[in-house]
Amino acid sequence: MARMTGTASRGEQLLGVAVVSTTPVAGGNICTSTRLRLSDGRSAVIKTRPQAPAGFFAAEARGLRWLRDAGGAAVPDVLAVDDDCLVLAWIEPGRPTAEAAESLGRALAATHAAGADEFGAAQDGYIGLAPLPNRPLPSWPEFYASRRVMPYVRAGLQRGALTPDEADVIETVVKRIHTLAGDPEPVARIHGDLWSGNVVWGQEDTAWVIDPAAHGGHRETDLAMLSLFGITHLQRILDAYSEVAPLAEGWEDRVALHQLHPLLVHAVLFGGGYGARAAAAARSLL
């Protein structure tokens, strides 16, 4: 089998185990992922990015470990991390079965129930390559408005990804967020970027979560993100989740509110029609 010398050497330095072979892993437009077959019989995946932003991989590793500590949704082991890369235990791919979806729903409820100390996190992070401000605030509406929505409205305007009219309608939602947010809920331990691409369907009817933007937030955020770009067996996930942790009345009406942040992030990072989609989501709430 082929062996990518530079990547293999980096893996060996960090793991202290010889790399027998390397295989590129498809998917992802931010980092390059490579499977490492190790001489002790294990496999790992190493994620690399030249000139990664400061603390980029450390933030991901921190989020993965925090989610794993919850004992809910399956999270791969962090084997090593440095400024230029992250090494994780390999997940052997499987099929997106209905059983795996139901298991994910129940496990995600357990992750959320593990909670957090406050809305936010002790350190800022990243969502994709976008900086993610996490400084805590006392309530979820305050945190979501100030740390998740408005920074990206401003960035979207600066980059031409949002028109002034689109920004205005989103700001109108922000002004009404305490009413739109529903009854207060306890701080949940959330993944923070739980779109379908960050769910890996593994063996034995297990779904794993990767690439988090983890923080103390609102549990409906993760569920709204799962539905934003579509995921196999979404209704099975939601039903299983609700069996363990029933959702608050009117949660379906708040999905658009929780989707504002990821849509704005996509507008800032990718442009296209995401700014218009964010404004349309905002209008649906008014």
**C-beta of residue 12 within 8 angstroms of C-beta of residue 39:** no
| Encoded tokens for 180 | 């739109």
**C-beta of residue 76 within 8 angstroms of C-beta of residue 42:** no
Partners of 193 in the β-ladder: none
**C-beta of residue 77 within 8 angstroms of C-beta of residue 57:** no
Is position 193 annotated as part of the catalytic site?
yes
| Encoded tokens for 135 | 């400084």
- Measured CA to CA, the distance from residue 257 to residue 278 in angstroms comes to 9
**C-beta of residue 93 within 8 angstroms of C-beta of residue 202:** yes
- Measured CA to CA, the distance from residue 35 to residue 128 in angstroms comes to 21
Going by C-alpha positions, the residue among 273, 266, 259, 272 that lies closest to residue 170 is: 259
- Measured CA to CA, the distance from residue 230 to residue 251 in angstroms comes to 18
- Measured CA to CA, the distance from residue 199 to residue 105 in angstroms comes to 12
Partners of 208 in the β-ladder: 74, 200
Catalytic residue among 83, 168, 193, 239: 193
| Encoded tokens for 32 | 């390059």
Give ∠ CA 150-119-230 in degrees, rounded to 5.
70
**C-beta of residue 188 within 8 angstroms of C-beta of residue 217:** yes
Active-site residues, by number, are 193
